[in-house]
């Protein structure tokens, strides 16, 4: 019964290892927001990892497949990979935002962050607002347009071309915003952007 033979087993094994490490190394208690913070980090890695996969691997790969006249084309990716990746992508985006807001709430920083108060509230707030914009882009711009591109929603060729452009620009915007967003998240935990 090797846990590495399934993705569920792999994730459960990783979670068990993480819990054991936390239990055996937790010297100072870690505070009441630690668990939700780790959930936020895990969801965020999933979200941003998929964002980078789409922008650095899948989109260029589909363009190369479309340009290769004798090649297999991109139908397999469009039919089997992209819908599943987009499912994980959009729900990881929502989970990241919700766990981030929950972490700010349990640590008493939610209002400070979203009002961009001085110090920690300003740094984490910039990241929170960038994450909010990115979440909006995922659910309002990327996902509805990708459904047209993938044929999950009926659309004319003109609507599909427009949907491709909107989804691509929103995804590139999120890739661009992910850099200062990640800088804000890390900076908040380390005393500033350049500490």
What confidence tens digit (pLDDT) does each residue in 44-80 have?
Answer: 999 999 999 999 999 999 999 989 988 888 888 999 9
Cα 22 off chain centre by: 24
What confidence tens digit (pLDDT) does each residue in 95-146 have?
Answer: 999 999 999 999 999 999 999 998 899 999 999 999 999 999 999 999 999 9
Helices (H), the chain: 7-25, 34-53, 59-67, 75-76, 82-106, 110-114, 120-136, 143-149, 157-189
Q: What's the pTM value of the predicted model, to 2 decimals?
A: 0.88
Q: 105 burial class (0-12, 13-18, 19+ CB within 10 angstroms)?
A: middle
Q: Report CA-CA distances (Å) from 3 to 16, 75, 120, 153.
A: 11, 32, 40, 37
What's the rounded Cα separation, in Å, for the pair 55 and 149?
16
């Amino acid at each position: 019964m090797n846990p590495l033979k399934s993705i569920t087993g792999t994730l459960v094994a990783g979670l068990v290892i993480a819990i054991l490490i936390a239990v055996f190394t937790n010297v100072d208690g870690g505070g009441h927001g630690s668990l939700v913070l780790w959930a936020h980090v895990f969801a965020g890695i999933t979200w941003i990892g998929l964002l980078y996969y789409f922008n650095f691997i899948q989109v260029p790969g589909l363009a190369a497949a479309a340009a290769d006249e004798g090649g297999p084309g991109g139908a397999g990716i469009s039919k089997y990979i992209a819908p599943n990746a987009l499912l994980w992508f959009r729900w990881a985006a929502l989970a990241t935002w919700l766990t981030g807001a929950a972490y700010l709430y349990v640590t008493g920083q939610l209002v400070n962050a979203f009002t961009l108060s001085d110090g920690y509230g300003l740094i984490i707030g910039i990241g929170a607002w960038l994450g909010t914009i990115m979440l909006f882009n995922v659910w309002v711009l990327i996902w509805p347009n990708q459904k047209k591109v993938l044929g999950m929603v009926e659309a004319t060729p003109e609507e599909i071309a427009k949907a491709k452009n909107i989804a691509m620009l929103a995804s590139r915007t999120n890739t661009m915003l992910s850099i200062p967003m990640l800088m804000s998240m890390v900076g908040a935990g380390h005393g500033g952007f350049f500490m």
